[in-house]
Structure 1
Amino acid sequence: MRMLMNVRIPHEPFNTYVRDGSIAELIPRVMASIKPEAAYFTEQAGGRGAVLIVNLEEPSQIPALAEPWFLLFNADCEFRVVMHAEDLQKAGLAGIGQQWK
């Protein structure tokens, strides 16, 4: 199942990692571990953030995706199921619409 993973990263300890140079090793390590389909780093509410697209075969994989962010960065993580347009086409919306007139 394709999930959008939204990560909000507080200033600390990230600022410390930037200052001491260890961030250059930490981010690639996390990315290699979680293997996102896509990753975008962005501002969120005035702070650092990341938006990742990850694939899950089962919900029990969520801790392996979130824990690196929790443990290394004290970050918050949110997960949302997402679809490609092709997935939406398979949803049968026309039939669902007829059912709920």
Structure 2
Amino acid sequence: MRMMMKARMDTQMSNQVTKDGAMPKSLKSAIEQLNPEAAYFTPEGGRTMFLVFDMEDSSQLPSIADPFFQEMGAEVTFEPVMNLDDLQRGLAALQ
């Protein structure tokens, strides 16, 4: 299922990770693990990232979110999302 993860990182913890030079490694690890179709970064409420990726099973939630909790004190949310093709298939099924 296509999911969008939002990770809003704690400013103080992510400042330390950035100063220590570990931020690029942490982000690279997440990108390699999830192979997202899209990755966006914004200063919304602090350092925030959005990743859109395919989640095969809900049992993946802990391994995906925990590094953000532990390394950056992030608030992490997950939302199922659709692209236009998915929406069109869903609407066609209503017919």
Is the pair's TM-score, using the shorter chain for normalization, greater than 0.5? yes
Runs (4 or more) in structure 1 with deviation over 3 Å come to: 92-96
Deviation at 1:50, TM superposition (A): 0.2
TM-fit CA distance, 1:91:
1.2
TM-score by structure 2 length?
Answer: 0.86
**TM-superposed deviation, 1:37:** 2.2
SS at match of 1:90: helix
**Percent of aligned pairs sharing the same letter:** 35
Alignment size in residue pairs:
95
| Separation (CA, whole Å) in 1 of partners of 2:94 and 2:22 | 53
Residue 86 of structure 1 and its aligned partner are, at CA, apart by: 1.0
1:15-69 Cα offsets, whole Å, 9 max, x none, are 1122222223222123223332221111112x11001002111111111111111
Indicate the SS of the match to 1:21: coil
Measured in 1, the distance between the counterparts of 2:39 and 2:94 equals: 35
Larger Rg: 1
What is the root-mean-square deviation of aligned Cα atoms in Å? 1.8
Q: Report the Cα distance in structure 2 between the residues aligned to 1:5 and 1:25, rounded to whole angstroms.
A: 19
Scaled by the length of structure 1, the TM-score of the pair is 0.81
Structure 1 residues without counterparts, runs of 5 or longer: 97-101
Partner residue of 2:8?
8
Where does structure 2 lack aligned partners over 5 or more consecutive residues?
none
Structure 1 CA distance for aligned equivalents of residues 57 and 23 of structure 2: 30
